[in-house]
């Protein structure tokens, strides 16, 4: 391809991205202002379309549930499968709802049961690594920033469409949460440490690492898989307190997060122990109510055979 055509191709691509965004945004905004009864009725329609018509990643979901929960009957696994798709649709629309939801409403629907733990850690003047998994709701953890004095920083994966990327950042940046891409995380933490800025760094870290970034294997849901060690590495390097946020879906549209301490002295913990404790907490969460885990991720694609 002639390099002289690149500016034209890029410009055309940006125009297409803008067109897709400008056509989609009004619909997303209208969805976000729907009363909750209509809002979840729409989610039910979306579920029927995604599960029965499109069958989005159904083979992946079915394989993951069978692999992780082999002790269950086929009927039980099918029930979890359907409920997980219902929750997937709820979760997607709840992210859209964040566009216009009031502070009062979101705090009523996402409750942090023991916020005093972070208050205790703040008094010790050490930054915090807050770990979560793709379970129940991680989007509404942004309400945490209203309740703490530290700067809340969320690590996220950049969206290819730059207009939707900005929208995602705007949604997740409500309540003064700052977003940073995965590639910019280390430089930001390093700079904050030099300037003595105290922060809570939120990471969702239960996906499978890329094959060229595999440093450690652990048992997850009874299967040997590679696990992300980045949060542990950062916690050790910068001496961060580590907390796991366990989220429970109380009922449709309502969640409770309980903060579980993993360590207050990351540097003294043996290598990979922090990661192992995190994986164990995620496992416990899934076993309690597996229908609220995001089974659509190819979490076990690099597993050890046999």
286-302 pLDDT, tens digit per residue, is 999 999 999 999 999 99
User: What confidence category does residue 3 fall into, taking pLDDT thresholds of 50, 70 and 90?
Assistant: very low
Whole-angstrom Cα Rg for the chain:
20
pLDDT per residue over 278-287, tens digit each? 999 999 999 9
Phi, psi of 44 (to 5 degrees): -65, -40
Mean pLDDT, rounded, for 210-216? 86
Mean local confidence (pLDDT), 80-96: 96
Note the pLDDT of residue 161.
79
Count Cβ atoms within 10 A of the Cβ of residue 121 and give its class: 0-12 exposed, 13-18 middle, 19 or more buried: buried
> How confident is residue 306, by pLDDT bands cut at 50, 70 and 90?
low
Mean pLDDT on 142-151: 92
Using the 8-state DSSP alphabet, how is residue 54 labeled? I
Residue owning tokens 């055509």: 5
Per-chain mean pLDDT for the chain: 91
**Contacts of 39 by beta carbon, 8 Å cutoff, 6+ apart:** 31, 93, 97
Please give the average per-residue pLDDT across 100-126, as a whole number: 94
Span 182-192, mean pLDDT? Answer: 94
Higher pLDDT, 49 or 165: 49
Distance of CA 246 to the CA centre of its chain: 12
Q: What burial letters (b/e) apply to 130-167, b meaning 16+ CB within 10 Å?
A: bbbbbbbbbbbbbbbbeebebbbbbbbeeeebebbbeb
Instruction: Give this prediction's pTM.
Output: 0.90
88 pLDDT above the threshold of 60 = yes
Q: What value does the mean pLDDT take over residues 210-219? A: 89
pLDDT(233) > 70: yes
Contact residues for 79 (Cβ-Cβ < 8 A; gap 6+): 291
Q: State both tokens at 21.
A: 């965004």
User: Is the confidence at residue 17, as pLDDT, over 80?
Assistant: no
Instruction: Please check the confidence at residue 74 and state whether its pLDDT lies above 70.
Output: yes
- Is a pLDDT exceeding 90 seen at residue 53? yes
Phi–psi pair at 259, nearest 5 degrees: -85, 125
pLDDT at 113 over 90: yes
User: Phi and psi (nearest 5°) for 12?
Assistant: -65, -40
The pairing of strands 254-263 and 110-112 is parallel
Mean pLDDT of 74-89: 98
SS3 301: coil
Does residue 170 register a pLDDT over 90?
no
Q: Residue 6 pLDDT more than 60?
A: no
Roughly how many angstroms between the first and final C-alpha of the chain, as a whole number?
45
Where do runs of H (alpha helix) occur along the chain?
Answer: 6-32, 36-48, 58-68, 74-97, 103-109, 116-123, 162-172, 185-194, 230-238, 273-288
**pLDDT of res. 7:** 41
Rounded distance between C-alpha atoms, residue 299 and residue 57, angstroms: 13
- Rounded average pLDDT over 131-159: 92
Which of 56, 61, 30, 31 is CA-nearest to residue 298? 61
- The span from the CA of 3 to the CA of 180, in Å, is 31
């Amino acid at each position: 391809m002639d390099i002289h055509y690149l500016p034209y191709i890029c410009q055309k691509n940006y125009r297409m991205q803008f067109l897709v965004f400008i056509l989609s945004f009004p619909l997303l905004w209208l969805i976000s202002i729907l009363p909750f009864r209509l809002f979840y009725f729409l989610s039910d329609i979306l579920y029927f379309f995604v599960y029965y018509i499109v069958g989005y990643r159904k083979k992946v979901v079915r394989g993951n549930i069978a692999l992780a929960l082999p002790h269950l009957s086929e009927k039980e696994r099918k029930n979890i499968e359907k409920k997980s798709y219902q929750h997937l649709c709820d979760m997607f629309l709840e992210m859209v709802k964040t566009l216009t939801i009031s502070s009062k409403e979101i705090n009523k629907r996402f409750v942090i049961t023991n916020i005093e733990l972070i208050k205790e850690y703040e008094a010790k003047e050490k930054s915090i690594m807050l770990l979560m998994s793709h379970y129940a709701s991680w989007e509404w953890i942004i309400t945490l920033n209203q309740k703490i004095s530290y700067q809340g920083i969320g690590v996220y994966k950049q969206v290819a469409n730059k207009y939707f990327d900005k929208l995602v950042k705007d949604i997740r940046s409500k309540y003064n949460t700052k977003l940073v891409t995965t590639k910019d995380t280390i430089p930001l933490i390093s700079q904050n440490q030099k300037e003595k800025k105290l922060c809570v760094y939120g990471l969702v870290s239960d996906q499978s690492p890329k094959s060229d970034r595999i440093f450690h294997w652990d048992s997850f849901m009874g299967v040997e898989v590679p696990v992300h060690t980045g949060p542990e590495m950062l916690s050790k390097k910068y001496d961060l307190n580590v907390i796991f946020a366990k989220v429970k879906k109380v009922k449709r549209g309502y969640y409770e997060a309980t903060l579980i301490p993993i360590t207050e002295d990351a540097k003294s913990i043996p290598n990979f122990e922090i990661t192992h404790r995190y994986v164990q907490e995620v496992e416990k969460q899934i076993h309690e109510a597996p229908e609220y885990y995001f089974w659509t991720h190819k979490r076990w694609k690099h597993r050890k055979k046999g």
